[in-house]
Structure 1
């Protein structure tokens, strides 16, 4: 699913920059596509530090460091939908530096006709939820029950009506996270009259709506674009608590699987390599079967390859063998994704080629160890 960018048609008035309302102008959606990215002006070949330095120096003379605003969904509801869009601010030049796919979206068409108000609330013309999110098990989405059980932080979730449409929440102007940058709970300004056709652009920039990337993942990606650092959280199958952000200078944690998916989508090799390495480091005999038979793994051959290699290397583990029948039963019932049969077949082939341990003739549980009189090496 592509990410549309909102462009508002605007009019000019003496002394003020004005933009036509969404009611009059409508929305123009531009998808991120590899074909379109090739048409964009190439990003100047400079290092991340040089791009960041240029942006900071420009901010000294009044140019805003954050010139693009992203809206991304943050919560998975009990019925499987994804909702609660939150906002993040970023510097477009640093985002563009990570991948040519962002060139068309953030570089081309940055003329006056493409300017939107970054201070505007979440538009009432857009849905506040989606049922088309294509990564149902994304651990970077908060579950509805978890969000509702959290202590109040002064922020409010976006309520949804019984008919499935959004209702206007009772909120103050902006609710920003620690540091004053980035997070704003989505709110719908339905009190504004539809007849009011013009409004002043308080903070000009671009506004992008991400339809299939979680807020937590995108927040971590922006930090990666700035610093080149990622803080990967444990896999859900490890049954470990996600570390809390205790230091303001530490990148926010995110799922390595969610970040791998993002890096694959936007063709960012270094980030994809880091995420894959993190996934590999978190494999164990306790979670390998859950991971290798997951829908996520079935979609990415590179992930399946490293997990299959791990499974083969540990195929003689008693815990893996004890849990394998449960997964075979799930495959028989049709509950495993496509490709599961091939994984099982390769595992069976591996097990049949393993050297058999020699058992003690007296029936003991131990094995017989042979000793070479020449080199002194022991073997079974």
Structure 2
């Protein structure tokens, strides 16, 4: 019995999918698969299912069909000592039968402290009917990694991106939409819009809200403009309802008069060209000497036509990370210590898990929302839980409240003093947004006490 890889591994945002043919030779000795994923491999074994409790399968001629009991195993192999945490498995074999007494492991923790060589992750029954054309059955195994790792894993090129690359061979534009979002915060003020270009076809189909935003939906964004010359009305960016957004860079010096003025006046004013569209190649350098006139051939640049979309209430970093995720399915979350760090332009863009959760909730991107929530859960500690559970962000989302209240009550010992201090403030009218959180703490605490008494 052996596993023969059918297709190359498929890399997803949180895990790796491997598909195999199950080859049943004369020998039933298990044989390992090639190395898959990040260094693990799989194997399988087969035995005739002849126990007295086995289901009997009958063929078209009325005869009993032989049935093989197939077990699939996970072998950590090269990553047995890696600190990946708890892996979870999903095994699908559409042409095999799942026995009622299957007892399979669905998780495996790395590093492997038990030093177990392998773990059984699936059991199937393979029915051999020689009256029909025998096609090797397939099994697909998906190994999912903890989202809290913030691990960026490679991914095969998708069909959308492949079509876009083919379009470039036919002379079509690589970009046809330009987004503007804000980048900096200072003393209640958010400013400095920055633009990022994208290909609309790579972003469509994930969310109705996002599709309306990209296609314009009859609003100003629906008109086509020259992407290299378009200037935005910065007043459209002033409504920012999440001032604690950690994807905004902090401006310690505060906004200067010129910058504040540029936000108060539409960028297409005759006397106030938008800084976000300033052409660095046409700006005279302060140290330049007068240039000698040179006769150059007349050149007319090609116009890149597309839509300009102003992103309201979302930081530039968050939006850039979203676009990258929709392009590649790669995602990387910032930590508290590297949120403001300068990134290499070719790295996977980092964003705050909270900011991405908020954006995913707005756009109805459930998978991205789940990944962000897992990262938020994975970064809760006894040192930060009181601050997190009573913050404004938590008050806006019941899912976040649930995981943080659960963590707080499980780790309550030693936090009584800090919690009492916060509760005293709540009684004085501080943090009015915390009513739902406080209600859940009391409700879950009372239910837990009642269960303990019984």
What TM-score, normalized by structure 1, do the two folds share?
A: 0.62
Identify the structure with the greater strand proportion: 2
Q: Which of residues 394, 415, 420 in structure 2 aligns to 1:325? A: 420
Looking at structure 2, the residues matched to 157 and 117 of structure 1 have their Cα atoms a distance apart, in angstroms, of: 30
Which ranges of structure 1 fall in alignment gaps of 5 or more residues?
A: 1-46, 149-155, 177-199, 357-380
Looking at structure 1, the residues matched to 263 and 370 of structure 2 have their Cα atoms a distance apart, in angstroms, of: 43
Which ranges of structure 2 fall in alignment gaps of 5 or more residues?
A: 1-155, 267-271, 282-300
Contact 1:263 1:271 survives alignment (8 Å):
yes
Match in the other structure for 1:36: none
Match in the other structure for 2:328: 227
Please report how far the alpha carbon of residue 102 of structure 1 lies from its aligned counterpart in structure 2 after TM superposition: 2.6
Say if 1:255 and 1:48 are closer, same or farther in 2 by CA, change over 3 A: same
Say if 1:133 and 1:62 are closer, same or farther in 2 by CA, change over 3 A: same
Alignment of 1:1-380 (within 5 A): 49-78=158-187, 80-107=188-215, 114-123=223-232, 125-127=233-235, 129-130=237-238, 132-145=239-252, 159-161=259-261, 164-165=264-265, 168=273, 173-175=278-280, 202-235=303-336, 240-242=337-339, 244=341, 247-316=344-413, 318=414, 320-336=415-431, 337=433, 338-346=435-443, 348-349=445-446
Please report how far the alpha carbon of residue 227 of structure 1 lies from its aligned counterpart in structure 2 after TM superposition: 0.8
Tell me the SS of whatever aligns to 2:313. Answer: coil
Say if 1:245 and 1:169 are closer, same or farther in 2 by CA, change over 3 A: closer
- What do the CA deviations read for 1:93-114 (whole angstroms, capped 9, x no partner)? 111143232333434779xx83
Say if 1:109 and 1:294 are closer, same or farther in 2 by CA, change over 3 A: closer
Contact 2:320 2:349 survives alignment (8 Å):
yes
Looking at structure 1, the residues matched to 174 and 274 of structure 2 have their Cα atoms a distance apart, in angstroms, of: 30
Taking CA–CA contacts closer than 8 Å with sequence separation of 6 or more, which of the two structures ends up with the larger relative contact order? 1
Please report how far the alpha carbon of residue 147 of structure 1 lies from its aligned counterpart in structure 2 after TM superposition: 8.0
Looking at structure 2, the residues matched to 91 and 255 of structure 1 have their Cα atoms a distance apart, in angstroms, of: 24
Please report how far the alpha carbon of residue 234 of structure 1 lies from its aligned counterpart in structure 2 after TM superposition: 1.8
Please report how far the alpha carbon of residue 165 of structure 1 lies from its aligned counterpart in structure 2 after TM superposition: 4.1
What TM-score, normalized by structure 2, do the two folds share?
A: 0.53
Contact 2:262 2:274 survives alignment (8 Å):
no
Looking at structure 2, the residues matched to 170 and 96 of structure 1 have their Cα atoms a distance apart, in angstroms, of: 30
Tell me the SS of whatever aligns to 1:98. Answer: coil
Contact 1:84 1:157 survives alignment (8 Å):
no
- What do the CA deviations read for 1:117-150 (whole angstroms, capped 9, x no partner)? 1112433x442751x31112111111221788xx
Looking at structure 2, the residues matched to 170 and 104 of structure 1 have their Cα atoms a distance apart, in angstroms, of: 28
Say if 1:135 and 1:95 are closer, same or farther in 2 by CA, change over 3 A: same
Say if 1:88 and 1:168 are closer, same or farther in 2 by CA, change over 3 A: same
Contact 1:315 1:351 survives alignment (8 Å):
no
Computing the radius of gyration from Cα coordinates, the structure with the larger value is 2
